[in-house]
Amino acid sequence: MDLQGAVSFIEALQSNNNREWFHVNKARYEDARAAFESLVGVVIPVVKGIDPSVDVDDPGECLFRIYRDVRFSKDKSPYKTNFGAFIAKGGRKSPYAGYYLHIEPGASFVGGGAYMPQAPYLKAIRQSIYEHPREYKAILHSDDFSSCFGTIFGETLKTSPRDFPKDFPDIELLKHKHYAVTHPVDDQFWISGDVIDRMREIFAALYPFNRFLNTAIASVMS
């Protein structure tokens, strides 16, 4: 799998995000996407060896489309300037927390969790943290997790979330809009000989966090 070709294609697309250029370079895109899909196909069994809840086998169920939905966006650029894949129970559209790969020259990362969880799942996660703060904090403060990911990704609420007491000692833990984490990697990461082993280490560090989130999410699944 030519992941250098995938990185190079995205780098070129960043400077040529238009349909004319993409049409001329369609074969190059297809080669790059195939390389990324091959990578995901190798990573899926690695993830399943860490997290037995993951039930996908087809990498096509995990890859995100490169075409942007620009209907409600001021930015009319037609293409995403990254390759992304989300490996989780139910595939890329799953509400469950999962494992994410993101190739974007200068901004690549490996991570996961629950990004933009819908309201019922977000409330369930917060409720679980509220009921089990020591367990959750033990995960966040573990050496493997904290050294790999640092802090939770994204914006937080300015005030306490509805339905939770404002005087809860760990109220800051409930203010996150996402329960997701990232581990930045450089462009050489994707072409290194130990890329699979390194992702295995990252995802192993992520697993206890995802397990906690998914226990909460499963409690409200219909």
pLDDT for 151-191, tens place per residue? Answer: 999 999 999 999 999 999 999 999 999 999 999 999 999 99
Range of the domain at 13: 3-218
Q: What is the CATH number of the domain that holds 123?
A: 3.30.930
Per residue in 80-91, pLDDT (tens digit) is 999 999 999 999
CA 20 vs. chain centroid, Å, equals 30
Question: How many residues can be counted in the chain?
Answer: 222
Average pLDDT, integer, range 19-26? 98
126 class by beta-carbon count within 10 Å (0-12 exposed, 13-18 middle, 19+ buried)? buried
Return the pLDDT at 131.
98
Measured between alpha carbons, how far is 131 from 123 in angstroms, rounded to an integer? Answer: 12
Q: Give CA separation, 23 vs 26, 28, 32, in Å.
A: 5, 10, 14
Sign for the CA dihedral angle at 122, 126, 131, 137 comes to positive
Q: How confident is the model at residue 75 (pLDDT cuts 50, 70, 90)?
A: confident
Q: 90 in the Ramachandran plot: left (φ > 0), alpha (ψ -120 to 50) or beta?
A: left
List % helix, strand, coil for the chain (3-state, nearest 5). 50, 15, 40
Structural domain total, the chain? 1
